[in-house]
Amino acid sequence: MKPYPNPLPFVSADEAVSHIKSHSHIHLSSVASVPHALIRALCRRADAGEVEDLRFHHFHTEGPAPYSEPRYEGIFFEQGFFIGPNVRSNVNSGYADYLPVHLGESQKLYRSGAIRLGAALVQVSRPDENGYVSLGTSVDCSIAAIESAELRIAVVNRNVPYAHGDLIHISSFDYLVEDDTPLVTKEFAQPTDTEVLIGKNCAALVEDGDCIQMGIGALPNALAAQLGGHKNLGLHTEMFADGLLGLIKKGVINGAHKKIDRGCVVASFLLGSQEVYSFIDDNPQVLMRDIKYTNDPWVIAQNPNMKAINSATEVDLTGQISADSIGTRIFSGTGGQLEFVRGASMSEGGKSITAFASRTNKGKNKIVPTLNPGAGVVTPRADAHWIVTEYGAVDLYGKSLQERAKLLIGIAHPDDREMLDRSAFERFGPHYHNFSV
C-alpha cells in the first residue's frame, strides 16, 4: 500500500472530543479496535464537568469501559448492541443497558434515524495513495455511523490493518487524531475434552465444498481443529479468529465453491492474535464488509451448502434457543445468530447448527424442560434445526414437540435424562412414552 501523499491535519484527542455536544448518542468502533484515546479524552471532559448525558452504542468492546461505570452516572450511559465481559456486571446492575437488535440491522438504526448520532468515534488505518482508509478489524456498523453522524472523528493508527472490502475516504472525517497504540489481542483457551467431542460431532455435518459460519472462542476453535481433513471450504461469517486462520493458511478454506465472493473470506469484525491482524493487512483474499452485507440472510443464502454454526446458553425441550441471557441476566446479545440461521436455512443444501456442552462448567444442565424465566428466545423453535452436544447431533426440522423432546433428551447429559423425560411426560401426558423417533 502506497501512503497518502499529503500530511494529515492531526489534532489532539482532547481537541477532537471538545466538539461533542452533551445529550448526544455516540458510536464507538468495537471489539479489538476501540478508540480508547478518544474515550480517555471524553473522561477528562467529564471529570472537568464539561459534558453530560452521552449515550454510547457499539458491539462488544475489549478493554476498559468507563462509559458504563457507576462513577459516571448521569454523564455517560452505555446502550450497547452486544454485551461483553467488561460491561456485563454494570448492565445487570442497571448502571448500563443493552439495546436488543440483530447485528445486521444495527446499521439500520443509524441509517434510518432511529438513533440519531451526535458523533462517530472510530479507528482507521493509514490512508492509501488515493486517501482511502480501512476500518481494519472492525467494520461492523461503523460505516453507517460515519455516514449518519453529525460529527466524525477518526483515530489514525498504523497498527490498524489496511483490510480490503468496504473502505472510506479520509476526507469523510471532521477531525483526525494520531495514536499508534497496538490493537487488543486475545488468546482463547485450549478446547476441553468435551469441546473436542462437540467439534467432532459438528464436523461430521460439514462436507467438502461447504461454506461455513462460526464465531470465536474455544468451541469454534475445537470445530476448526476437526476440519483439517476437509477440502474447498468457504467462509462467510460475522467474525473469525486464529482457529479458522490455520484452515485458511492450509488451503482448507479457499472459497473455491462459493457462488458469491468466490475465492475470498468475508467477515465484518475480528478478534484474535496479531497474526490474524497481520494476515488481513493488504490481503485481497479477505474482504472486511459492512455488517449490512455479511449478515443479510439473502446474501448468506446465495452461497450453496451454507453451514451456520452457533451456540446457546439453554435449549428447551421444544427447541427454543436462548443465547443472549441466563434468565433475566443479560450475558451477550442477539448477535447475528438468527440472521445466519435463516440464511443457512434458505441456502441450497444449507444447515443451521446449534452446538453447546450439555452442562455448564458448574454442572447445570443446558437442555432444560423450559427456559429460565426471563430468558430471551434468540432462535424460535420453528427455526431450530440441528442441535449438537458432546453426546451427538439431532435434527429437529420437521419434528413435532414430542419428537423434539425425545431427540433432545437423547443428547442431554446422561444424569439429566431421567429428569427431562419425567418433565416431558408431565407436559405431554401418558401418550408421550408411546412415542418413538
* Cα distance between residue 104 and residue 34, in whole Å: 19
**Which residues form the catalytic set?**
238
pLDDT of residue 2: 74
The rounded distance, in Å, linking the Cα atoms of 354 and 387 is 5
Entry pTM: 0.95
For residues 273 and 183, give the distance between their C-alpha atoms in angstroms, rounded to a whole number: 10
Q: HSE on the CB side for 367, CA within 13 Å?
A: 34
- Candidates 124, 192, 146; CA nearest to 356 is 192
Residue 69: predicted pLDDT: 95
Q: DSSP secondary structure string, 323-382?
A: -SEETTEE-S--TTHHHHHHHHHHSTT-EEEEE--SB-TTS-BSEESSPPTT---SB-GG
* Residues 49-64: tens digit of each pLDDT: 999 999 999 999 999 9
Which of 261, 241, 268 is CA-nearest to residue 306?
Answer: 261
Q: Which residues of the chain have pLDDT under 70?
A: 1, 433-437
pLDDT of residue 7: 86
pLDDT of residue 433: 65
Residues 73, 55: Cα–Cα separation, whole Å: 11
In three state form, how does the secondary structure of 278-329 look? HHHCCCCCEEECCHHHHCCHHHHCCCCCEEEEECCCEEECCCCEECCEECCE
Q: What is the pLDDT of residue 210?
A: 98
89 CB neighbour count, 10 Å cutoff: 12
Residues forming beta bridges with residue 418, ordered by sequence position? none
Q: How far is CA 224 from the centre of its chain?
A: 17
